[in-house]
Amino acid sequence: MGGARDDVVHGAHAVTLYTPRPPARVLGIDPGLTRCGLGVVQGVPGRPPGLVAVGVIRTVAGEDISARLLAIEEEIESWLTEYRPDTVAVERVFSQRNVRTVMGTAQAGAVAIVCAARRGLPVALHTPSEVKAAVTGNGRADKEQVTTMVMRLLRMPDRPRPADAADALALAICHLWRDTATQRRAAVARSGHRTPTAGLAAAGGVRSGGDT
């Protein structure tokens, strides 16, 4: 019976859980004061994501913090205007030994969140281990493994540089896949059907991975 699908009947209409959806576009932001990675991907359930744009915002370490944050804000606003994402995914700040680095990362991340909120865009926060697990299948993968998988998934002939750019694309891919799976599970739950977990993972290329 290959190819069977679950149809839910509401009144006189049959609603399939696999109705095609329009492509979703995600802006991934890897926050940082010196380098802030930006990556936009677009995709639909069951298909590999596509690359839209990738870049890095750079600020000079010796400049005043207010000027650096303003530069980041202006560039993010420019990307939001040009690429019109449906969602913004930002890396969740986690504890590091270098408090100064954590503070700068948190400040840049807050700017990104405010830019999205100003336009009414939903914001998602993902930890590094969540991103690694979604993209490589291993929550403890190193940067080289993440970059390699990003290049393969997006069919990129050249390595995105610096690493912040690859991380931003990985964030966007992570959210695109996790959000799709979440929406599909919610639809199945509302219908009273069991979630076809294995099918979702195979369709999106998502594999489970450990957390750090």
pLDDT, tens digit, for every residue of 133-149? 999 999 999 999 999 99
Pick the catalytic residue: 7, 64, 82, 91? 91
**Which residue, 170, 175, 180, is CA-closest to 124?**
175
Mean per-residue pLDDT for 186-205? Answer: 41
Known active-site residue 164 = yes
Question: What is the C-alpha separation between 212 and 210, in angstroms, rounded?
Answer: 7
Mean per-residue pLDDT for 10-39? Answer: 77
**Which residue, 76, 177, 164, 200, is CA-closest to 130?**
177
User: pLDDT tens for residues 111-129?
Assistant: 999 999 999 999 999 999 9
Average of per-residue pLDDT values in the chain: 81
Mean per-residue pLDDT for 146-157? Answer: 96
User: What's the pLDDT at 102?
Assistant: 87
Which residues fall within 8 angstroms of residue 66, CB to CB, at 6 or more apart?
A: none
User: What's the pLDDT at 21?
Assistant: 66
Tell me the whole-structure pTM to 2 decimals: 0.76
Known active-site residue 64 = no
User: What's the pLDDT at 150?
Assistant: 97
**Is residue 58 over pLDDT 80?**
yes
Mean per-residue pLDDT for 102-117? Answer: 95
User: Higher model confidence: residue 37 or residue 208?
Assistant: 37
Pick the catalytic residue: 77, 86, 142, 164? 164
- For 11: left if phi > 0, alpha if psi spans -120 to 50, otherwise beta; the answer is left
What is the band of 43 on the pLDDT scale with cuts at 50, 70, 90? very high
Known active-site residue 6 = no
**Is residue 194 over pLDDT 70?**
no
Q: Are 133 and 149 in contact (CB under 8 A)?
A: no
Question: What is the C-alpha separation between 155 and 197, in angstroms, rounded?
Answer: 26
What is the band of 208 on the pLDDT scale with cuts at 50, 70, 90? very low
The bridge status of strand 24-30 relative to strand 35-43 is: antiparallel
Q: Are 52 and 42 in contact (CB under 8 A)?
A: yes
Q: Which helix (H) or strand (E) holds 77?
A: helix 65-83
Q: Are 145 and 129 in contact (CB under 8 A)?
A: no
Pick the catalytic residue: 30, 75, 130, 167? 30
What is the band of 180 on the pLDDT scale with cuts at 50, 70, 90? low
What is the band of 44 on the pLDDT scale with cuts at 50, 70, 90? confident
